[in-house]
Amino acid sequence: MIRTENLEKHFGKLHVLRGVNTSFAGGEVVSVIGPNGSGKTTLIKSILGMVVPDKGKVYFDGLDVANDFSYRHHIGYMPQIGRYPENMKIGQLFAMMRDLRKSSTALDEELMHEFQLPAMFDKPMRTLSGGTTQKVSAALAFLFNPKVLILDEPTAGLDPVASETLKAKVLKAKRDGKLVIVTSHIMSEVEEMADKIMYLFEGKINFYKIIADLKAETGEEKLGKAIAKIMTEQAHA
C-alpha cells in the first residue's frame, strides 16, 4: 500500500534518514520503534508529505506522491503533539475539518463519542489539557474512515481508560483491513497491538520483522527482552 524508495533527509548537518527502503501492506499494524532522534517522526512526516525528502520517493498504491496530494484522502494522522488553532472550539474544529476534507465516505464518529468529546464542544482548544488534545487528535485521525492510519506516539499523555479505548480501536481497524503505522516507546503496548516491528537506528532500518518470528528467533517470551537480545548480539558481531 505504501512503499518508500531510498529516502534521504538532512536537517542542516544532521543526516536524519539514510536511505530508507520499506513497504507497508493493508490489514497489519506496524510498530516503528527506535531511540529518540532515530528518524521515526521524519519517516512518518515524509510519508505524509509534511517533510520533503532530499532524495528518494514515496509511493502510495503504486503512485508517486511527490506532486499529488489526493492520496492524503486515505490517511488519518495523529501527531505526537497535536497543535490546533487556539481560538477555535472543539466543535468548530471538527466542523472545519469536515468542511475541508469534503469526504464522501461515511464518517466514523465512534472514537469521538467514546472519548465524550461532544460534551466539550464549546471548549476552546487553548484551554484543553494535553490528554484531551490527544483525544481530539485521535478522534480526528479516525473520523474520515481512512484506509491508512498513522499514529505518532498515540498513548503518550492518555489516561489508562482512553489508552485502552484507542488500542481496541486500532485492533478493530486492522480487522477491517486497514494499515496502521504506530510509533511507540512502550514495548508492552507494541506487543499488544503490532504484528510487525520496524527498528530504526540512526536513520536506517536495523530490522523489520514479524513479532512472532522475532520471539522465536531469540527464544524470548517478552518483546522487550527479544529486542535487547538482538541489539546486544549486533553489538558483539
Contact residues: other proteins, CB under 8 A: 11, 45, 48-52, 69-73, 75, 77, 79, 83-88, 96-97, 99-101
Residue among 49 and 91 whose Cβ is closer to other proteins = 49
Find the shortest distance in angstroms from Cβ 69 to other proteins. Answer: 5
Find the shortest distance in angstroms from Cβ 85 to other proteins. Answer: 5
Residue among 32 and 75 whose Cβ is closer to other proteins = 75
Residue among 74 and 174 whose Cβ is closer to other proteins = 74
Pick the closest to residue 154 from 42, 69, 32 (CA basis): 32
Residue among 86 and 213 whose Cβ is closer to other proteins = 86
Residue among 146 and 157 whose Cβ is closer to other proteins = 146
Find the shortest distance in angstroms from Cβ 88 to other proteins. Answer: 8
Residue among 26 and 49 whose Cβ is closer to other proteins = 49
Q: How far apart are CA 25 and CA 60, in angstroms?
A: 10
Find the shortest distance in angstroms from Cβ 113 to other proteins. Answer: 22
| Residue given cell 517533510 in the structure block | 51
Find the shortest distance in angstroms from Cβ 70 to other proteins. Answer: 6
Task: Specify burial of residue 36 (Cβ count, 10 A radius: 0-12, 13-18, 19+).
Answer: exposed
CA 109 to chain centre: 19
Find the shortest distance in angstroms from Cβ 136 to other proteins. Answer: 11
